[in-house]
A and B are shown apart, each in its own frame.
Chain A
């Protein structure tokens, strides 16, 4: 992180020379894949950095323990933990990235190797880290005007992706702890509590169905990817406008179906569902 601070401080300095042009910038470093899976049998992998911009980008790679959680409003956020508690399933301490600092020329790509060197006594289970990629465009050659007061803000971009390391027997599951819904204006304010089971994060998807008194699906809300590392209490607002008054049942259906994760990385588990009665006036 010290390197990151240095980079940002330097960026502020070099931006001074660039601001006279104050260009429309198009710098960006693409990071792929967005999730990397390693194991005790395959301890290294690669991340690709692709500079899609038209200027060289200085890129710094860092690793930190982190996982998704929900806030009090039921919204998702990623919790980054600088100093994980003892026993936390953090892989950040024994993952290494090579290189950790690199200049990626415009239009070029750079492979970054991620190597895991876990302690020999590491218990079976799943361990997590976030890969933090920070990029800042190199300044164009331009001279600043100093006869007037000019001001502007430039951007450093940080992309965070996930790294998962699995050792030995890993299994996952999800438990629907709670499901509630109440009508607000033309939507159902829906809260769902999910708790992970097993020793690995549950990566799956969630969808909702509203069924009428004859068990016919009258409305459904698309498949939403979901990741339960510990426990989530999520809020969804499900539009129910133009539905006829009457009694319904709202079903929450959770499965391991995911479009964005390769099938061999998905830990299979039985789908689960829960429902709650709804009365639409």
Chain B
């Protein structure tokens, strides 16, 4: 998929280039293509999966150690500063029905690091805006990684079903 992404970026650069070439010197065109090649993108590589639950038994997913943690890769302009905010739900719901499971995110329910190394990531509170910088490397190593865990607390009489919720992840450059 990364190869496809690189191809799409090349196509995107090619699409932008003729418009610029008509008005600018070749040096400027080169600069603009570099800009077009370094957009900001957040990509989830894994959902936050609690799997099958035992009614009455809370289950926590640790962001730094669990393979079931949600995982994001953020790519952008090298050294560029960005913010990441999570909009966190408090309930998982079975379809449109009345049945729910409480969902909580503690003060260390997420972690982040510049490289793809989950065990070495720094713990953070996902309810607080993360401000960080893209790794100072050329593509495809212009990255930052975030993992998200959490805790579900099914009741002893939890109704069977598939319970889901949506986390909104918002990423943006600060311009700094």
Interface residue ranges, A against B (CB under 8 Å)? 8, 11-13, 15-16, 19-20, 22-35, 48, 50, 52-54, 68, 75-78, 107, 109, 130, 134, 136, 144-162, 201, 203, 222-227, 229, 234, 259-264
Contacts and interface: CB of A to CB of B under 8 A. Distances in A.
A129 to B, nearest CB: 13
B173 A12 contact: no
B95 to A, nearest CB: 5
Interface string B22-48: 001000100110111011111111111
Given A16-B94, A150-B163, A158 B169 contact: yes
A167 B69 CA distance: 48
A153 B48 contact: yes
B171 A153 contact: no
A155 B169 contact: yes
Given A158-B169, A160-B171, A259-B77, A24 B70 contact: no
Interface in B68-116: 70, 72, 76-77, 79-81, 83, 89, 92-96, 101, 103
A91 to B, nearest CB: 16
A240 B36 CA distance: 36
Interface of B: 1, 4-5, 8-9, 11-12, 15-16, 24, 28, 31-32, 34-36, 38-55, 70, 72, 76-77, 79-81, 83, 89, 92-96, 101, 103, 129, 131, 136, 148, 150, 152, 154, 158-176
Given A149-B55, A156-B169, A262 B160 contact: no
A153 B47 CA distance: 6
A52 B47 contact: no
B129 to A, nearest CB: 5
B163 A262 contact: no
Contact of A8 (B5, B162, B166): B166
A204 B63 CA distance: 36
A54 B1 contact: yes
Given A34-B173, A149-B158, A161-B40, A13 B96 contact: yes
Contact of A30 (B5, B148, B166, B172): B5
B83 to A, nearest CB: 6
Nearest to A9: B166
A224 B79 CA distance: 7
A162 B52 CA distance: 42
16 contacts: A15-B164, A16-B95, A32-B12, A33-B16, A53-B1, A77-B131, A109-B12, A146-B161, A148-B53, A150-B53, A151-B51, A151-B152, A151-B162, A152-B164, A153-B164, A157-B44
A226 B175 CA distance: 6
A75 B166 CA distance: 27
A151 B154 CA distance: 10
A201 to B, nearest CB: 8
Given A12-B166, A68-B175, A225-B81, A154 B40 contact: no
A222 B81 CA distance: 13
A13 B40 contact: no
Interface centre among B83, B92, B174 (most CB of A within 10 A): B174
B173 A153 contact: no
B131 to A, nearest CB: 5
A159 B172 contact: yes
Contacts of A76: 81, 83, 131, 174, 176
Nearest to B50: A151
Contacts of A134: 168
B160 A146 contact: yes
A150 B51 contact: yes
A218 to B, nearest CB: 21
A20 B47 CA distance: 12
